[in-house]
Structures are given as C-alpha cells and as structure tokens.
C-alpha cells in the first residue's frame, strides 16, 4: 500500500518538475509575463515546493513500504 502511494507521489512530483520547467520556458524565466500575469510568479514558487514535498513524501512512503515486520511487531 505504501509503495503504491510512493509511486503516485513520485509521478505527481515529476509532473510539477515538468510544469515548473514549462512555466520558466514559456515566460522566458519570468521575463515575459502578461499584464496581470502575477499567477506566473506564484506558480514559480509553489510548483517547485510541491515537487520537493511530493518527492520527499514518495521517498518516505517507499522506505516505509520496504520495512518488513515479523510476528509480534518486532522489526
């Protein structure tokens, strides 16, 4: 179950990495934004933060999913 969650989180992290790169390419590294296009600046901050947070969550879920427990809850 945890490894499945890790795969989903990793896929979402990869999506936000891609979308950050796309945002920077489309806006010329935020040099060519439309008037009133302040959402580009918000996206330039939020998308990488989401990518990092989801990547960290994917890593933690993957490690948690790999732990094998024995009878009685001992590890």
Question: In this predicted structure, what is the pLDDT of residue 36?
Answer: 87
Phi, psi (degrees; rounded to nearest 5) at 41: -70, -40
| CA dist., res. 14 & res. 20, Å (int) | 10
Percent of the chain that is helix, strand, coil (3-state, to 5):
75, 0, 25
Burial 42-67 (b: 16+ CB within 10 A, else e): ebbeebbebbeebbebbeebbeeeee
Q: pLDDT under 50 in the chain at which residues? A: none
Phi, psi of 36 (to 5 degrees): 80, 10
Report pLDDT for 73.
57
> In this predicted structure, what is the pLDDT of residue 53?
98
């Amino acid at each position: 179950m945890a490894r499945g969650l890790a795969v989903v989180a990793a896929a979402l992290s990869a999506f936000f990495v891609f979308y950050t790169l796309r945002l920077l390419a489309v806006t010329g590294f935020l040099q060519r934004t439309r008037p009133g296009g302040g959402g580009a600046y918000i996206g330039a901050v939020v998308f990488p933060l989401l990518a990092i947070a989801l990547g960290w969550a994917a890593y933690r879920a993957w490690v948690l999913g790999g732990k094998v427990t024995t009878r009685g809850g001992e590890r």
